[in-house]
Amino acid sequence: MAWALLLIAAATPALGAGQGTALGVAPGASATANATVRTLTVGADIFVGDTIATDATGLVQIQFADKTKLVVGPNSSLLIQDYLVRNDGSAGKFAIDMLSGTFRFITGNGPKTAYQITTPQGTIGIRGTEFDTFIDHLTGIAYVMMYGGQTELTSNADSELLEGLCYIGTIEVDDTKLIGKLPEMNAADFERIRNYFALSLDQSKLLESFRLSASPDCTKAVLKSALVPFAAICTIPTDLACSLTGGAGSGASKGGSSLSGAGGSGSSAMLLSSGGSGGVDGGDDPDDPPVSAVPLPASMVFYCGLSVLLAWRTVSKRKNRTQALRRH
C-alpha cells in the first residue's frame, strides 16, 4: 500500500494550481483550454491542455516547477500536452507541441528522456540544452538554433544530432538537415534565417533568467553581413592598387571580371589573381591563365578597405599632378 501511494505521489501534476507560471507577459497573449480563452497576465497559472497564443506584440515567459523555462514569442502558438513532476522537483514527463512561431527552450532539472517536443513535421529530442526554434506557419518546417547542449532532430525518415553555438538544423516531413553555423553563412542565407530568430536578435524584452549570454554571439554576424557589399568591391581596388604600385596585375579588372568573381557567395571578399602581368589591362592577353578566386578572410576586410582608400588617394594625386603639369 505504501509503495502504491509513493508511485501515485511521484506522478502528481506540479504546483497544484497549475503546472507553470507566466513570469513575464507582454500584452497580446492568451491561453485556451476547453473552448475557454484566458488573457494571460504576469503570475497567471499555465495548465496541461493550454494552448498558448500570441499576437504580433505578445510574449510569454513561463517557468515550470522543475525550473524548465519556455518563451513563446510574438505571432506564435504552442500546446502544453503533458507535465508530471517527481517528488524531488524534477520533471517526470514534459510534452509540448510547438505549432507555429518562435520559441526559446531551456531545460530544467528533469532527465533528458522526460522531454518530448513535437513540431508539425517531426520531433526535437533533448539532451540537456538551450535553443531557439522557429516554426514556419506556411510550410511547417522547423528551424532550430543551438546555444548549448545537444538536440536530436527527427523526421519520418531520418534524424540528425545538432550541437554547437549558433548551429542551425531543420526538420521537414521526410528530411532533417544540418545547415551550418549562422555567422558563417553567406549573406543571403544569413539575412533570411536570422530574422526567424526574433528572441536571439533582441533579448531586451526578456527577464534576466530567460536571457542567454551566448545568444548575441549568433547575431554579431550582422556586422559581417553589413561589410559584404564593401568586401565584394574590395577586389577591384586591391588589384588596382597592386598595379599602381608596380606589382603584377591580376589581368582580371578589365571587363568587370573581378566583380563577378567576388560576388559568388557573398560571404567573404575574393582576391582574384592570374598569371597576367599587364596590370589593369592584362586580361586582354588570350594566353593569360584563367582567373582564380582566393577567399579573403572577413578579418582582412578592414585592411582591404584601407588599401582601397590608399589606392584611390594615389590615383587622385597622380591625376591632379598630371592635370597641373598639362596646364603648365
280 against 119, higher pLDDT: 119
Task: Provide the grid cell at 75.
Answer: 505571432
Are 95 and 234 found together in one domain? Answer: no
Summarised one tens digit per residue, pLDDT across range 88-145 is 777 889 999 999 999 999 999 888 889 999 999 999 999 879 999 999 999 999 999 9
Q: In the listed set 219, 234, 265, which residue is the last one of a domain according to the structure? A: 219
Q: In the listed set 187, 219, 251, which residue is the last one of a domain according to the structure? A: 219
| Average pLDDT score, the chain | 77
pLDDT band at 282 (very low <50, low <70, confident <90, very high): very low
Whether the predicted pLDDT of 164 surpasses 90: yes
Are 87 and 151 found together in one domain? Answer: yes
Are 40 and 162 found together in one domain? Answer: yes
Q: In the listed set 171, 199, 219, which residue is the last one of a domain according to the structure? A: 219
Are 186 and 299 found together in one domain? Answer: no
Range of the domain at 280: 226-327
HEC string for the chain:
CHHHHHHHHHCCCCCCCCCEEEEEEECCEEEEECCEEEECCCCCEECCCCEEEECCCCEEEEEECCCCEEEECCCCEEEEEEEEECCCCCEEEEEEEEEEEEEEEECCCCCHHHEEEEECCEEEEECCCEEEEEECCCCCCEEEEEEECEEEEECCCCEEEEECCCEEEEEECCEEEEEEEHHHCCHHHHHHHHCCCHHHHCCCCCCHHHCCCCHHHHHCHHHHHHHHHHHHHCHHHHHHHHHHCCCCCCCCCHHHHHHHHHCCCCCCEEEEECCCCCHHHHHHCCCCCCCEEEEECHHHHHHHHHHHHHHHHHHHHHHHHHHHHHHC
CATH of the domain at 148: 2.60.120.1440
Mean pLDDT, rounded, for 76-91: 88
What percent of the chain lies above the pLDDT cut of 90? 54
Are 197 and 246 found together in one domain? Answer: no
Q: Which amino acid is at 219?
A: T
Are 69 and 197 found together in one domain? Answer: yes
Are 118 and 173 found together in one domain? Answer: yes
Q: Tell me how many domains the chain contains.
A: 2
289 against 8, higher pLDDT: 289
Summarised one tens digit per residue, pLDDT across range 202-252 is 999 999 999 999 998 897 754 444 444 444 555 444 454 444 444 444 444
Are 244 and 169 found together in one domain? Answer: no
Are 68 and 178 found together in one domain? Answer: yes
Are 213 and 237 found together in one domain? Answer: no
Whether the predicted pLDDT of 49 surpasses 90: yes
Are 276 and 196 found together in one domain? Answer: no
Whether the predicted pLDDT of 8 surpasses 50: no
pLDDT value at residue 248: 42
Are 19 and 162 found together in one domain? Answer: yes
